[in-house]
Structure 1
């Protein structure tokens, strides 16, 4: 598992994510939600683009499922992001969107933001506003609020009670005292009837580091084009087979805390059909906005593709056709630990695969283990290991070598197709 660190300890940029998680507690000190902050980059402006990247990181983060569980996630969100389609990728009942006041508190802009706020609330999202929206010009926003956060560092002690009374009168929202840093601030908030709390006095934000795999932009673009055709599911499945970073991101997304499913995936075709083309397109578009130009799949990715195809061909020699997809997944994900820089058990925590697949990858046991052993032997110069694995499966050298050559040729053809 990841090792949490202080939220102020911002990591280097790159393929490492860093999401800060701070608890929101009720009056009995039970954690009811977590506010999440993206700390992957230093001194970044909050924008619609950073919102999209934050959402991608949340949906791609291996550890968030266990760290958040079924609790609410509070995500800071710009008004521009409300019109973005990437919000369709998350289950509204899991998320509270924290919306900022408008710049300069201009009446015309405040009014202009109402339709978008109403639309996301109608879709099931809950909205949280800061105490600035208790000002007169924001009156039309207050019926939309599920939560109002009062900053204990900014509201004077003698103004807190009337502010809470006004909030209760003007809205049905629950009040959260945030930035509670001392016992005196906590006691004051509790005395005026506030029942939800957030701040350093309860818990400092915990930084959870994770690793992401960013697919090549060319493959993301091709996926988007296939969806827009629309192509047959089989064509999309072939693209997922050729890029292990793309397929891994898809399976991790399906099993993410934000998407809300925890389903055992039997094949990449199953993943596409489970998600549907519309959500697959939204996911690919989000992935595109967070990927970097000129990035190409590493050599290890190509090796994983060869393994997947070889496993598929070897299994086809001995087992019924329905096992081919599982065999491909075993092969292509057999290098996940190398690609992520994590132990295999931890790399697989974020995706749900059949026990036959995980047994082969983690324990080298089960029906696919001998095929994986033979696949690995094909890459090595160990003639004894090759002979032992081939003999165990009763496959001739000719059969294995032919399958290996076919797998290498298939991987090369995928490169030339680009």
Structure 2
């Protein structure tokens, strides 16, 4: 048997991400109805079109134990430049509130010119939020599009806030959010006027979340982009995903993210590619290339996960059908998620939303693939007793296992050289 043991701890260099501040938006019963996301990487307090895109991408693909895009609404600050970005096609619009900034000293014709894009976003299912400037006559074309209007109490005196609230309630169907509430007096004042949503230090300060992604090799992302651009076959695209545990994890994380809005159990990379489609796959890979540009090469544990996946696939081909062989690769690769992410295996697997049968095969070694996983792990540890015990539960011979192991190692080395 060939020894391919890897370090049990994932390198911190395997993770890349951003620092995101998340502040709750609550109703009068102190129930969280949504979170506003803000980019706080490198002390950033403003945002650009590029940071808008990366914040949303990081929220979708976050690999931490806490889900950033859950059942509540996600309020995302936008620039007008980012509103036409392809990244918005990667999310479930019903969960996203786009916070649309004012145009400064904008002429009425510029407001009118942007109205069709905003209307199209709302037609696609996005919620739109504006600040109090949308109540000015200049912004009249935007007002019917407002699902939320945010009133900034740090700049509005009580008498002016009262006038704006009364006007908004008469002239719009939007829900009002009083933001930057810092005192009980401010809360009592706006709630007495009928405002039902609140945000500010009086309720909760922004909580920082270090978003994490497994860093794939940039060369593999470029390979994927090139294949998708020339509309390569699903088989060719699947081969690229099998090269890189980080790339595979991030795709499966996205495909099963609550923010994407798909409701399918994905049990192979082939299914993931087909469900996402080439257009969305290209946009996702392009964003991943940007997000991972500062990441280093994958750690040894990621390489071992690729070998394990291929090893499992080759063994499954000896006595199982093609669909189960595809699942075997996934079972093998993702059986090392605990080491790749530095968290318990059950928590790591929950991030991917895999079918229960696959999770049980990984965690509890149920079924034929679970037994194969025990056999593969025995090969890695070079434990003869465990190896022969596991081998008895399969129709394989030791010669078949050793040949498959050598082929998996050679395949992995070849993939890394491409």
Taking structure 1 as the reference length, the TM-score comes to 0.89
Corresponding residue for 2:179?
Answer: 178
SS at match of 1:158: helix
Corresponding residue for 1:146?
Answer: 147
Whether the 8 Å CA contact 2:312–2:328 is kept in 1: the answer is yes
Corresponding residue for 1:97?
Answer: 98
Q: How does 1:371-386 map to 2 (within 5 A)?
A: 371-386=372-387
Whether the 8 Å CA contact 2:15–2:212 is kept in 1: the answer is no
Q: Deviations over 1:292-320 (max 9, x none)?
A: 15743333222111111111111222333
* Residue 248 (structure 2) pairs with residue 234 (structure 1): no
SS at match of 1:143: helix
Q: Deviations over 1:27-63 (max 9, x none)?
A: 3433322222333442264111111111111111246
Q: How does 1:147-166 map to 2 (within 5 A)?
A: 147-166=148-167
Deviation at 1:338, TM superposition (A): 1.4
Q: Deviations over 1:202-259 (max 9, x none)?
A: 2333334443112222111111111121111111111111111111111111111211
Q: Deviations over 1:106-140 (max 9, x none)?
A: 65654543343233223221211111333333333
Whether the 8 Å CA contact 1:327–1:357 is kept in 2: the answer is no
Q: 1:258 to 1:107 in 2, by over 3 A?
A: same
Whether the 8 Å CA contact 1:152–1:180 is kept in 2: the answer is yes
* Residue 36 (structure 2) pairs with residue 35 (structure 1): yes
The 10-residue stretch of structure 1 (294-303 or 245-254) with the greater mean CA deviation from structure 2: 294-303
Corresponding residue for 1:86?
Answer: 87
Corresponding residue for 1:222?
Answer: 223
Q: 1:114 to 1:67 in 2, by over 3 A?
A: closer
Deviation at 1:367, TM superposition (A): 2.2
Question: Distance between the aligned counterparts of 1:65 and 1:273, measured in 2?
Answer: 28
SS at match of 2:177: strand
Question: Distance between the aligned counterparts of 2:228 and 2:129, measured in 1?
Answer: 35
The 10-residue stretch of structure 1 (161-170 or 242-251) with the greater mean CA deviation from structure 2: 161-170
Question: Distance between the aligned counterparts of 2:347 and 2:65, measured in 1?
Answer: 13
Question: Distance between the aligned counterparts of 2:147 and 2:65, measured in 1?
Answer: 24
RMSD, matched Cα: 2.5
Deviation at 1:322, TM superposition (A): 2.9
Corresponding residue for 2:7?
Answer: none
The 10-residue stretch of structure 1 (32-41 or 75-84) with the greater mean CA deviation from structure 2: 32-41
Q: 1:56 to 1:312 in 2, by over 3 A?
A: same
Corresponding residue for 2:52?
Answer: 51
Q: 1:68 to 1:48 in 2, by over 3 A?
A: closer
SS at match of 2:156: coil
Q: Deviations over 1:377-407 (max 9, x none)?
A: 2222333333333344353332111111111
The 10-residue stretch of structure 1 (59-68 or 274-283) with the greater mean CA deviation from structure 2: 59-68
The 10-residue stretch of structure 1 (62-71 or 337-346) with the greater mean CA deviation from structure 2: 62-71
Corresponding residue for 1:7?
Answer: none
Deviation at 1:85, TM superposition (A): 0.8
Question: Distance between the aligned counterparts of 2:294 and 2:182, measured in 1?
Answer: 43
Q: How does 1:228-377 map to 2 (within 5 A)?
A: 228-292=229-293, 295-377=296-378
Whether the 8 Å CA contact 1:263–1:352 is kept in 2: the answer is no
Question: Distance between the aligned counterparts of 2:238 and 2:333, measured in 1?
Answer: 13
Question: Distance between the aligned counterparts of 1:13 and 1:23, measured in 2?
Answer: 30
SS at match of 1:253: helix
Q: How does 1:185-196 map to 2 (within 5 A)?
A: 185-196=186-197
Q: 1:349 to 1:39 in 2, by over 3 A?
A: farther
Whether the 8 Å CA contact 2:15–2:213 is kept in 1: the answer is no
Extract unaligned runs of 5+ from structure 2: 1-12
Question: Distance between the aligned counterparts of 1:345 and 1:119, measured in 2?
Answer: 41
Corresponding residue for 1:8?
Answer: none
Whether the 8 Å CA contact 1:13–1:40 is kept in 2: the answer is no
Deviation at 1:25, TM superposition (A): 2.3
Corresponding residue for 2:199?
Answer: 198
Question: Distance between the aligned counterparts of 1:211 and 1:113, measured in 2?
Answer: 35
Question: Distance between the aligned counterparts of 2:65 and 2:357, measured in 1?
Answer: 25
Question: Distance between the aligned counterparts of 1:379 and 1:82, measured in 2?
Answer: 49
Question: Distance between the aligned counterparts of 1:295 and 1:289, measured in 2?
Answer: 13
Question: Distance between the aligned counterparts of 2:248 and 2:140, measured in 1?
Answer: 47
Q: 1:68 to 1:243 in 2, by over 3 A?
A: closer
